[in-house]
Structure 1
Amino acid sequence: MLKTEEKLNKTQYDFVLRDMRARIVIGGVQSGVGKTTITLGIIAALRKMGYDVRPFKVGPDFIDPSHQSVIAGNPSHNLDSFMMTPEQIRSSFLKNTSDESIAVIEGVMGFFDGMSGKNEERGSTAHVSKILKAPAILVAGVGPIARSIGAVALGYRDFDPDVNLQGIIFNPVGSEKYKKILEDGIDGILPCLGHFPKDEHLMIKERHLGLKMAHETTYDFDHLAEVTLENIDLDRLVKIAEDAGEIEGEITEFDPIFKGCRVAVARDEAFCFYYPENIEIMQELGVEVVEFSPLRDSLPDVDGIYFGGGYPELYAEELEQNEGIREEIKRRVEEGMPLYAECGGMMYTLRKVNGYEMLGIFDADAELTERLQAVGYVIAESLSDTVVSRKGEVLKGHEFHYSVVHPGDVRFAYRMIRGKGIVDGMDGMVYKNVLASYTHIHAVSHPEAFVNFLSLCHENPK
């Protein structure tokens, strides 16, 4: 096998791209203030106004981007300053926007909330806004507060002078009198761009991992757009986005070195957590991506399989019932076919989930718990060669799950420098050409991981 660096023929444009691309960040004073609903409303309204909207999400989330993609009609990409370098963030942003588009970037948690305390901004909305030199609008959840809102606005405006904070949207506001109180409270501090009303028709149902996915949600697109147009100053918001100023960076592209290779990607209700870049990099490298449903289909004629995360615990009975595909996958694994599985996909490789039969590649069972087991960024050291890494390499990623795994006789490839993993600070179960872990990795951060995986797929044809 060739070394990764010999196979990774990535091409960077031989010029620095400088552009005045319209962009705006929608951040929150804290979690739960409604920034997702307001972001979706802004995307819907801008699209109705005729704009080509390119959505982005700060952080490692899979769920919010699924909604953004449906509303925008364009895929939503993640911008994460823990998993990605500033150069990688700018490259991804420039690659997925254009001169004619307007980028709407939804923040994560509170605007300045990053990995840890006051001296660590990585992972925060503020950090990404500074990397992209993007103006930001703050969403403030309101309730029993009046003049004190001025202190909140002043604090956010002055906390970091390198942040370009351009205004506030209040949510929810139920009366004209209260609107006036809030506007008076921030007068001379930050402009008010609108007041979003409380509207049950705009709420998205939740479950243990957060909001339900986009494919489970029915949208009243026109209502969402109209409510936003009536309550937010979209003309002013667009002007702020268009006046964001110049952004520069290099765009990284990859040569199609794996033409003829076919990789199956599990995509259905049970497996739906994928960073778009993880699929796009395979296609850019020349791979034919074949989507299939482990709930309903047989295994396509492919050279490898990629299982993302999702909700196998909710569909465990249906996954057990498709015995044909389970037997086919196990047969191909024994023959040496590469298989890479993350989180929910990892659970499918186990013997049982909530008592239902799964693939049985690993001697381990999983069960869903009522309590959150792990959430946050991870750093994993590879203790041996795997389908995505080489011994000694360090990978950054993310984990988020309510499940626990009870392993028997299994071998682990990851030592967790940061994060929980599967058990005792270990993650990444390995067997033949299979790797299954709780850790999600991102292709922009680790393109070499996907080159490693595709190299094995290319060298082990069906």
Structure 2
Amino acid sequence: MKGFVVGGVSSGVGKTVATLAIGRALIDDGYAVQPAKAGPDFIDPSHHEAIAGRPSRTLDRWLEGTEGLRRNYHRGEGDVCVVEGVMGLYDGDGSSTAMVAEALDLPVVLVVDAKAGMESVAATALGFREYAETSGREIDVAGIVAQRAHGGRHEQGIRDALPADLEFFGRIPPNDDLEIPDRHLGLEMGGEAALPADALREAADSLETERLIEVASEPPTPSTNGRDESGRVDARVAVASDSAFCFRYPATIERFRERGEIVSFSPVAGDPVPECDGVYLPGGYPELHAADLESTGTLSELGALASDGLPVLGECGGLMAMSQSLTTAEGDRREMAGILPADVTMRDRYQALDHVELDALSGTLTAASGQRIRGHEFHYSSADIDGDARFAFETVRGDGIDGDHDGLTEYDSLGTYVHVHPESGAFDRFLETVESE
């Protein structure tokens, strides 16, 4: 499957809107689009899926390694893959957009803000392309999409200023309707803040899809498929799935299905915990649903099951739900599952944002003793830990729970602030551990 990367000159330049407009334009021209996201994001991919109708692939060199990144790409389906970048093209030491483009050998379509420029737009694009050459990056900045550009003289001035070897792939016209609302952790989810269809199609009509298809290229084939040769295990995993627990990588769910059995339930709706060998609580927004989570009874049931030995794995929002209490930004204290010896409080600014590396201090649900795994953290809450709390990991990189450790462990359960990708092997370890319970 051919593809290209939609990179930006900076954060906030409008990569997500440009990516959605490009996807809409390609779909309207009859192409099946596989969306993807560079970096460990859950929110932008929800907008991709709302447009393309298929889950967006996560492409992160830190989380997956180069081969794992290529494997995840090749698991996609469609005629063309549109990869939205992260931050500015060259920003990020763990896995920048440029690193992803280089690992996949995909061309870059650069999103440049043209609101107050014409010839300067071309100069900016030329600088980004030549920086790749002078810094030794093996990436091809193939051309631009001009964000917030008018038609007529404005568009023509940009076209005329571009050198012959930098394509003009079109523009995104200024339109207040093409703004996705923000909240903590980023944009609102795709199901909550879908862009108006008319505004998105207007933007799509200004893009030159055939030129985009012409520059798209095929990435290298990964050396292995990355699947565990030991095959399936006798494990049934219950996955929390609702508006409070919505941050999960498609590859994680695929991994559970490949090697075991999966069943979903909604703690917000008050679903009983399904019969299972282990529970996975992904991240999300439990703070926005804390009252329901306290009242429905699912979390209290989960706490009782965990105390009886049912393994529960929670990541970020999952850790919050596994705690003794959650105090919201409004100051409301709500009782949670009571599995972990921690009380969590929402803060007015983010407490951690980074790629993370962890060393396992002892054997746990996601790692053997001494094993090192990589992940990502981004959260607005902090956890007040009881004095007798036990940690599963030492942080080599990142903040974790207390600055030095992550992974609160109690009974046979584990809660972390870190999100991991299945390429880390963490979910294979989880499946194999709960099978033996």
Q: Which residue of 2 aligns with 1:311?
A: 285
- The CA distance in 2 between the partners of 1:376 and 1:299, in whole Å, is 32
Aligned to 1:406, the other structure's residue is in SS state strand
Aligned to 2:354, the other structure's residue is in SS state strand
- Indicate whether 1:431 and 2:410 are aligned: yes
Structure 1 moving runs of 4+ over 6 Å: none
Q: Which residue of 1 aligns with 2:348?
A: 370
Q: Which residue of 1 aligns with 2:129?
A: 157
> 1:161-188: per-residue Cα shift (whole Å, max 9, x none)?
3211111111101352322332333244
Give TM-score scaled by structure 1 length: 0.88
Q: CA deviation at 1:424?
A: 3.4
Which of 428, 431, 435 matches 1:454?
431
Aligned to 1:148, the other structure's residue is in SS state helix
Q: CA deviation at 1:199?
A: 1.7
- The CA distance in 1 between the partners of 2:151 and 2:34, in whole Å, is 33
- Indicate whether 1:253 and 2:232 are aligned: no
Which of 132, 150, 171 matches 1:195?
171
Root mean square deviation of aligned Cα = 1.7
Contact 1:28/1:107 (8 A) holds in 2: yes
> 1:228-268: per-residue Cα shift (whole Å, max 9, x none)?
33211111111111xx2563223233457445421110111
Q: Which residue of 2 aligns with 1:11?
A: none
Q: Which residue of 1 aligns with 2:330?
A: none
- Indicate whether 1:71 and 2:51 are aligned: yes
- Using the TM superposition, name which of 86-95 and 349-358 deviates more: 86-95
Which of 388, 391, 396 matches 1:417?
396
Q: Which residue of 1 aligns with 2:214?
A: 239
Structure 1 residues 282, 134: CA separation in 2 closer, same or farther (over 3 Å shift)?
same
Q: CA deviation at 1:329?
A: 1.1
Matching residue's letter, 1:32: G
Q: Which residue of 2 aligns with 1:320?
A: 294
Structure 1 residues 134, 412: CA separation in 2 closer, same or farther (over 3 Å shift)?
same
Matching residue's letter, 1:45: A
Matching residue's letter, 1:95: R
Matching residue's letter, 2:265: F
Matching residue's letter, 2:435: H
Gaps of 5+ in 2: 328-332
- The CA distance in 2 between the partners of 1:272 and 1:60, in whole Å, is 14
Structure 1 residues 306, 246: CA separation in 2 closer, same or farther (over 3 Å shift)?
closer
Matching residue's letter, 1:456: T
Contact 1:258/1:458 (8 A) holds in 2: no
Q: Which residue of 2 aligns with 1:86?
A: 66
> 1:395-421: per-residue Cα shift (whole Å, max 9, x none)?
111000111111113111111111111
Contact 2:70/2:219 (8 A) holds in 1: no
Structure 1 residues 307, 112: CA separation in 2 closer, same or farther (over 3 Å shift)?
same
Which of 363, 367, 370 matches 1:389?
367
- In the TM superposition, 1:50-61 aligns within 5 A as 50-61=30-41
Aligned to 1:26, the other structure's residue is in SS state strand
> 1:290-332: per-residue Cα shift (whole Å, max 9, x none)?
1111111111111110011011111111110012x22321222
Structure 1 residues 220, 149: CA separation in 2 closer, same or farther (over 3 Å shift)?
closer
Contact 2:362/2:369 (8 A) holds in 1: yes
Structure 1 residues 424, 58: CA separation in 2 closer, same or farther (over 3 Å shift)?
closer
Q: Which residue of 2 aligns with 1:6?
A: none
Aligned to 1:86, the other structure's residue is in SS state helix
> 1:44-75: per-residue Cα shift (whole Å, max 9, x none)?
22112221111110000111111111211111
> 1:170-228: per-residue Cα shift (whole Å, max 9, x none)?
1101352322332333244622111211122222211011111122234444642x223
Which of 116, 123, 137 matches 1:144?
116
Aligned to 1:272, the other structure's residue is in SS state coil
Contact 1:333/1:339 (8 A) holds in 2: yes
Give TM-score scaled by structure 2 length: 0.93
- Indicate whether 1:404 and 2:382 are aligned: yes
Structure 1 residues 219, 371: CA separation in 2 closer, same or farther (over 3 Å shift)?
closer
Q: CA deviation at 1:275?
A: 0.7
Aligned to 2:227, the other structure's residue is in SS state strand
- The CA distance in 1 between the partners of 2:160 and 2:189, in whole Å, is 38
- The CA distance in 1 between the partners of 2:130 and 2:237, in whole Å, is 50
Q: Which residue of 1 aligns with 2:243?
A: 269
Contact 2:5/2:84 (8 A) holds in 1: yes
Matching residue's letter, 1:361: I
Q: Which residue of 1 aligns with 2:102?
A: 130
Q: Which residue of 2 aligns with 1:443?
A: 422
- Using the TM superposition, name which of 173-182 and 227-236 deviates more: 173-182
Contact 2:145/2:169 (8 A) holds in 1: yes
Structure 1 residues 453, 276: CA separation in 2 closer, same or farther (over 3 Å shift)?
same
- The CA distance in 2 between the partners of 1:94 and 1:175, in whole Å, is 37
- The CA distance in 2 between the partners of 1:349 and 1:401, in whole Å, is 16
- The CA distance in 1 between the partners of 2:226 and 2:403, in whole Å, is 38
By relative contact order (CA 8 Å, sep 6+), the higher-ranking structure is: 1
Structure 1 residues 221, 254: CA separation in 2 closer, same or farther (over 3 Å shift)?
farther
Q: Which residue of 1 aligns with 2:315?
A: 342
Aligned to 1:32, the other structure's residue is in SS state coil
- The CA distance in 2 between the partners of 1:182 and 1:390, in whole Å, is 56
- Using the TM superposition, name which of 395-404 and 254-263 deviates more: 254-263
Contact 1:29/1:140 (8 A) holds in 2: yes
Q: Which residue of 1 aligns with 2:156?
A: 180
- In the TM superposition, 1:86-105 aligns within 5 A as 86-97=66-77, 101-105=79-83
Q: Which residue of 1 aligns with 2:334?
A: 356
Aligned to 1:271, the other structure's residue is in SS state coil
